[in-house]
Structure 1
Amino acid sequence: MSGSIFSLWQDIKDLARSLLYDKESACLLCETHVSGGQVFCDDCKQTYFRPDLNRCSHCGKLLESQHTECEDCVAGRGPKGMEQAVAWGHYTGAWREFIQNVKFKSQPYLLKQLGPPLGDFALRHLPPPHWIVPVPLHDERLGERGFNQAAAMASLLHWELGIPLWEGLHRVQPTAPQVGLSRKERLHNLESVFQIVSSSRGLKQIQGARVWLIDDVTTTGATLEHCAKVLKRGGAAQVYGLVLAAGLEKGQKKDYSASEFGVIIGSDRRESVTIF
């Protein structure tokens, strides 16, 4: 068979395979073979996205216990001003590395495959919104990085789900890095940082609206809290946070039945995460 005929035959076979069989690809995190349009292999889904675990009904943190709220939110230390936040995955290992590569190594193109699975997760955990709103970057940071990862995520969801973007939320002041700060310090660091800068038409659009507020990672929830407060002051009725990753609270082994006697038995271990 001549080279040109063989090449044509290969092209025909490739076309037939693309039409008749599942597309073959590799897991986005470990490069294991996956098929059927899957983005992650089964092992990575279980390791990093933990579909078997509850999410805190308030801050979105993953919970190994059967509780519906994490200890921070029960104690009043969780984000305020939102109806709910939910994290897709656990900020650890290859998923953490993926998120950091997107943000710090200027690789936003890595996000493009996340549209379908992230959209599916969001619709299963949050009520459909009128608008999708990304957490904004200050112009200085945007100039340094070249893109806003939250805006890239919001754009993915816009195209995947057909939900419009609302871009009237702005970060009007630069802030010091949040790493190493307590929740109280983070809240103070973000005072007066976010504002609505929009036309009268834009303000009218947000009145009474349900909003998905999008960011990549949450730790204390301080950023989501400040953004939610500004959106509600601007007229939004409900704000729901959606992030790629958050921390995981280890299983609590407490005997709450003994609490009436002032006794709590067992231990509580929580895993902390760092966001840059």
Structure 2
Amino acid sequence: MRDLGIEAAKITRALWYVDKQACIFCGEEQGVICPACTTEYLHPELGRCRGCGKLILSEKIHCLDCEAGKGPKHLDQITAWGHYAGGLKEFIQEIKFKAHPRRLMEIARPFSDWAISQLPVVDGVVAVPMHASRMAERGFNQAEVISSVLHWQLGLPILCGVERIASTSSQVSLSRQERLHNLKGAFEVQQPEKIKGRSIWLVDDVTTTGATLEAVAETLRESGVQAIYGLCLAAGLEKKLVPLCD
């Protein structure tokens, strides 16, 4: 009986405890995100442009584009957890294109802790919506999964009602102005009275020019949302910075 008790204890420890946790980006057994990957992909030493979210020199609050008036106008702030490159980029692409949304739970705690340290507490979280045709193709909206992570970790309500009513062409090769034109009229708020006067985090996986966040935010502003803070997993680096990874 004593041996059975020892074996049961070993099984319990195996189920509930992990002595060494592998880094989700490189696999090294140095914690959820190892120091090397934190430096290479999350860049805590760099600031984030308050206008578009891209990583910039820490002493500034806006990138050159936003200083020149070329950034989003309808958000109070945009911030991104890390640089869309290397291990973080591969992680996001595996979630989106290889249908592994559950992997977002691996970063739930560090991402949520970072988000609440960067942005004001708000009334709720809004996910950038996906058109029904894309949803049918992919099977999930990664922005909604990220919103669910924030809800469970921080207790922030998920606010629904924003829909993507137009299916648009790919934004990848378009300039910011072309992206904004492409997204014109693509979003609509159902029952705006439910979000009027509220403050929100507007959540997506990646921001490059900020055009998608801007298009959704414009629709939200027209529906009476008081404060909008964009939050993404990753963004680009300001062009004048030397790339720190490919």
Does residue 85 (structure 1) correspond to residue 78 (structure 2)? The answer is yes
Give the count of matched residue pairs. Answer: 243
Moved more, 105-114 or 143-152: 105-114
Deviation at 1:6, TM superposition (A): 5.8
Residue 238 (structure 1) aligned with residue 227 (structure 2)? yes
For 1:200-246, what per-residue CA distance to the aligned partner results, in whole angstroms no more than 9, with x for missing partners? Answer: xxx33312111100000001100000111111111100100000000
**CA-CA distance at 1:9 after TM superposition:** 2.8
Q: How does 1:128-167 map to 2 (within 5 A)?
A: 128-167=121-160
Higher RCO by CA contacts (8 Å cutoff, separation 6 or greater)? 2
Secondary structure at the aligned position of 1:33 is classed as coil
Give per-residue Cα distances to partners, 1:67-114, cap 9 Å, x unaligned: 221111011111110000000000000110110110111110110122
Q: After alignment, is 120-129 or 9-18 more displaced?
A: 9-18
2:198 maps to 1:206: no
Structure label with greater radius of gyration: 1
- Matched residues in 1 for 2:145 and 2:176: separation? 26
> Measured at CA, do residues 188 and 66 of structure 1 come closer, stay the same or move farther in structure 2, by a change above 3 Å?
same
Normalising to structure 2: TM-score of the pair? Answer: 0.92
How many Å apart are 1:150 and its aligned residue? 0.2
Runs of 4+ in structure 1 deviating by more than 6 angstroms, as ranges, are: none
Q: Which moved more, 1:4-13 or 1:205-214?
A: 4-13
Deviations 1:144-163 (A, max 9, x none): 00000000000110111111
Alignment of 1:47-86 (within 5 A): 47-64=40-57, 66-86=59-79
Secondary structure at the counterpart of residue 236 of structure 1: coil
CA distance in 2, matches of 1:147, 1:186: 23
Once residues 44 and 213 of structure 1 are traced to their aligned partners in structure 2, the CA distance between those partners, rounded to angstroms, is 26
Q: Quick one: which of 9, 12, 17 aligns to 1:12?
A: 9
1:123 partner amino acid: I
Alignment root-mean-square deviation, CA: 2.0
- Aligned-pair CA distance for 1:165: 0.5
Over the matched positions of the two proteins, sequence identity in percent amounts to 45
CA distance in 2, matches of 1:205, 1:194: 16
Q: Which amino acid aligns with 1:224?
A: L
Alignment partner, residue 213 of structure 2: 224
- In the other structure, the counterpart of 2:117 is 124
Give the corresponding residue for 2:28: 32
TM-score normalised by length of structure 1: 0.82
Task: State the distance in 1 between where 2:120 and 2:98 align.
Answer: 33
Q: Which range moved further: 22-31 or 237-246? A: 22-31
Shift in CA distance, 120/7, structure 1 to aligned 2, threshold 3 Å: same
| 1:64–1:248 contact (8 Å) kept in structure 2 | no
